[in-house]
């Protein structure tokens, strides 16, 4: 149980893109590929400092690559996670739904 609650938990859904430390274009490419593979809706998710990058990725996909994609929903939230010292900290989250 405990292992599953860590920050590394990842859903392995095809249409969910977790934005982290890679360059923007890695995630843009992943999103464009999803749409190319026939997904009509993708979720771009991030936590903490990566939230700004998730917004960049969504805007680049929409404005430069998938012109008929629209931002259908943006939700923000808070996750309680443990840091390296086993202290509970809150991190903000974002989920951006892009759809055609």
Binding site for a second copy (CB under 8 A): 48-52, 55-56, 58-59, 63, 71, 74-78, 90, 92-94, 96
- Cβ 12 to a second copy, closest distance in Å? 25
Q: Which of 9, 72 has the CB closer to a second copy?
A: 72
- How many helices and strands, by DSSP H and E, does the chain display? 2, 4
Count of C-beta atoms within a 10 Å radius of residue 95: 15
Question: CA gyration radius for the chain?
Answer: 14
- Cβ 5 to a second copy, closest distance in Å? 19
- Cβ 83 to a second copy, closest distance in Å? 16
Among the listed residues 48, 44, 69, 38, the one whose alpha carbon sits nearest the alpha carbon of residue 56: 44
């Amino acid at each position: 149980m405990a292992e599953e609650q860590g920050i590394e938990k990842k859903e392995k859904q095809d249409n969910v893109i977790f934005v982290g430390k890679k360059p923007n274009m890695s995630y843009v490419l992943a999103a464009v590929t999803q749409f190319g593979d026939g997904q009509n809706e993708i979720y771009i998710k991030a936590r903490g400092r990566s939230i700004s990058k998730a917004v960049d990725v969504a805007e680049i996909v929409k404005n430069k690559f998938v012109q008929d994609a629209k931002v259908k929903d943006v939700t923000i939230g808070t996750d309680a996670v443990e840091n390296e010292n086993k202290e509970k900290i809150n991190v903000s989250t974002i989920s951006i739904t892009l759809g055609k």
